[in-house]
Structure 1
Amino acid sequence: MRYALALDLVDDPKHIAEYEQAHQRIWPEVRDHLRAQGVLDMEIYRLGTRLFMVMEVDPAVYSVQGMAEASLADPVIQRWETLMWTYQAPTPWTPAGEKWVFMDRIFSLASQ
């Protein structure tokens, strides 16, 4: 199963460069956490301050609730999320207190 999510970055070239640098080689604990939650692949793209994430998951393992609970229970993941939040900003459509927001698919060439 594939999900698309969006998030913004703080509009500061130094912060954007640091965010991109942090994603050149994420912490091994973060990588292992994602895989343990059923994330098979993840890519992040950037245009200006807007981020777009594509996440491929194993639907037999991954759940939004399970990922949230496991993330909150892991102090290393919490440190990573706190660090990343210094670079990130909610989109104008992001509910208060949330970060990455799931996007709605409006087109699929395969279904045409």
Structure 2
Amino acid sequence: MGNRKCAMALDLVDDAGLIAEYEKYHREIPQAIHNSITAAGVVHMEIFRFANRLFMLMEVDDSFSFERKAEMDAANADVQAWEALMWKFQQAIPGAKPGEKWVFMDKIFEL
């Protein structure tokens, strides 16, 4: 079937110091986090930022599902620690459900 793309958004706490620290963490993520992402079937991941708004583009293979990734993450202490640390910098985007971090974006155009 081939790889597919997923686009997601999230906001950061609107604080320049926290945003700089968040970017520093993402310049070199821990190997355990990298491994958990690729083991879930993520082939490529990019995160972009404008002000405190984040946009993530993931390319995933046929083995990937958000349910499977959530199960893998829940069983991984390193991922749980990383997510708890990242939540210090993150905040729910307007319109997100309670407890929801990254939200799906709908593709509305392709050229």
Report the aligned-residue RMSD.
0.5
How many residue pairs get aligned? The number is 108
Q: Which residue of 2 aligns with 1:22?
A: 25
Identity of aligned residues (%): 49
TM-score by length of 2: 0.96
Residue in structure 1 matched with residue 98 of structure 2 by the alignment: 96
Deviation at 1:93, TM superposition (A): 1.3
Instruction: State TM-score, norm by structure 1.
Output: 0.95
Q: 1:12 is matched by which residue type in structure 2?
A: D
SS of the counterpart of 2:73?
helix
Aligned to 2:42: 39
Q: Any unmatched runs of 5+ in structure 1? A: none
1:21-100 alignment runs, 5 A limit? 21-59=24-62, 61-100=63-102
Residue aligned with 1:26, SS: coil
* Displacement after TM superposition at 1:13 (Å): 0.6
Aligned match of 1:108 in 94, 97, 110?
110
**Cα offset, 1:53, TM superposition:** 0.2
Structure 2: gaps (5+ residues): none
1:73-103: CA deviation from partner (whole Å, max 9, x where unpaired): 1010000000000000110011101100110
